[in-house]
Amino acid sequence: MQLTKQQVNYCMECGVCTGSCPISQELPDFSPRQMIKKTIDQPEGEILHSSDLWACLTCSRCSDRCPVEIDFPEFIRSYRIKAIKAENLPRLSHNGMLQSISAIQAQRSNKGTQQNRTAWAEEVGKFSDKGEYFYFVGCLPYFDVIFQYLNVPSLESAKNILKILNKIGIEPVISNNECCCGHDAYWSGDEALFQKLAEQNIEAIKASGAKKILFNCPEGYNIFKEVYTEYFGKLDFEIIHVADFLLQKLSESDTESFEFNPCSNNSVTYQDPCRLGRRSGIYEEPRKLINLVPKTSLKEMEHNRENAICCGTTAWMECSNCSKVMQVKRLKEAKQAGADTIITACPKCQIHLTCATTTFDTEIKIIDLYSYLAESMNIK
């Protein structure tokens, strides 16, 4: 959604945004309210050169609460596009590897780079080139390699989703021509890269003939739903989140074919990803899925649902002390809630919170939602 100047003018300086912002809590000079106020005075002023522009997580905690519905993350994004032109650039995390991977994927059509992103699936289940359902795997095959050093098994969630889908009787399309959804490029202000990636994805989906696209990554799901439709109009396929889909399928089927064993963890909690929760409004489906597992004791952290706190960084940039503080706070919250496992529905939350466990002495386990389900369904 493009934010108009007039909308920004509606700001009544209540400060709810700054009061809600997890970054402002750690960096007292960071203030969304001040940023809005300064740009009303000087639309092309200081903000274009400020590093605060890149510090925002676009987590939408502020905009979710703003009484006049100013979409602050969108405000930030529109200024990031301008800041890049003014050579104000973000500090990329992981040496910029993930940005390079997206850029290489966008050159696919003219440079002939072939991806092999289905090898993992051949080992675990059945999938096809054409069909009704398309499983959009997202960046998991890349994360699985890059984050080996943290022992984050990113591909496990994809493997388990494929196994569960097969068990339901679905052989989804998984395509080597799928590419990065462009979420990070979009939120980092690189619209050209975003558009290129989006076009390639739409083409790959069209070629498969699929009409129902299943996403487990909240970012992919949200960007298709919120932004692809804005750029490309109505898409001729349905965008479905796997949590929603599985909940329907698993609750409607007779329980005998899906036997759930009691979970081996004592108590768990759920981390709401910002893109799935505040930006897509999916809060209850993952919780209901977790509760399908008998004897699950699902505890809520102090900040949950629309109040949930972000995992610390977005779009692979600006990882800082502040990110670490937020992550460690989150781990402590889980502990205080009496949970010994945090279930995540976002591959990035899983990576970031696992990273935090390595710097902070804690016994907390981080597991993704679908591996948790699969473990209890005995289809590991």
Partner 1 sequence: MTEQNNLEFNSGFSPKIVTIACNWCSYSAADLAGVSRFQYPPNMKIIKVMCSGRVNPNFILKAFQKGADGVLISG
Contact positions toward ligand SF4, by CB under 6 A? 11-17, 20-21, 23, 32-33, 36, 56-62, 66-68, 70, 72-73
96 binds, among partner 1, ligand SF4, none (CB under 5 to 8 A by kind): partner 1
Q: Which is nearer to partner 1, 161 or 193 (CB)?
A: 193
Binding-site partner at residue 116 among ligand SF4, partner 1, none, CB < 5 to 8 Å by type: none
CA dihedral 324, 327, 332, 338 (to 10 degrees): -160
Q: What's the closest the beta carbon of residue 97 comes to partner 1, in angstroms?
A: 5
Which partner in partner 1, ligand SF4, none is near 101 (CB below 5 to 8 A by kind)?
A: partner 1
Q: Measured at the alpha carbon of residue 118, what is the angle toward residues 115 and 121, in degrees to the nearest 5?
A: 165
User: Could you tell me the smallest distance in angstroms from the CB atom of residue 92 to ligand SF4?
Assistant: 18
CA dist list (Å): 32 to 145, 207, 234, 323, 352: 36, 43, 33, 17, 24
User: For the chain, how many helices (H) and strands (E)?
Assistant: 21, 7
Compare residues 11 and 165 and give the one whose CB is closer to ligand SF4.
Answer: 11
Distance CA 64, CA 82 (A): 25
Q: Contact residues for partner 1 (CB under 8 A)?
A: 94-97, 100-101, 103-104, 107, 111, 113, 146
Residue 100 contact partner, candidates ligand SF4, partner 1, none, CB within 5 to 8 A by sort of partner: partner 1
Q: Which does 12 bind (CB under 5 to 8 A by kind): partner 1, ligand SF4, none?
A: ligand SF4
Q: How far is the CB of 83 from ligand SF4 (least distance, A)?
A: 15
CA 336 to chain CA mean position, Å? 25
62 binds, among partner 1, ligand SF4, none (CB under 5 to 8 A by kind): ligand SF4
DSSP letters, 101-153, are HHHHHHTHHHH-PPP---HHHHHH---BSSSSEEEE-TTHHHHHHHGGGGT--
CA 223 to chain centre: 10
Task: Tell me the C-alpha to C-alpha distance, in Å, between residue 84 and each of 18, 90, 101, 268.
Answer: 25, 9, 20, 42
Find the shortest distance in angstroms from Cβ 316 to ligand SF4: 16
In the block, tokens 């990065």 appear at 180
Q: In one letter, which amino acid is 83?
A: A
Residue number with CB closer to partner 1 (5 or 111)? 111
Q: How far is the CB of 128 from ligand SF4 (least distance, A)?
A: 40
Least separation, in Å, of the C-beta of 29 and ligand SF4? 13
C-beta of 21 vs 377, nearer to ligand SF4: 21
Of 294, 370, 301, 379, give the one whose Cα is nearest residue 338: 301
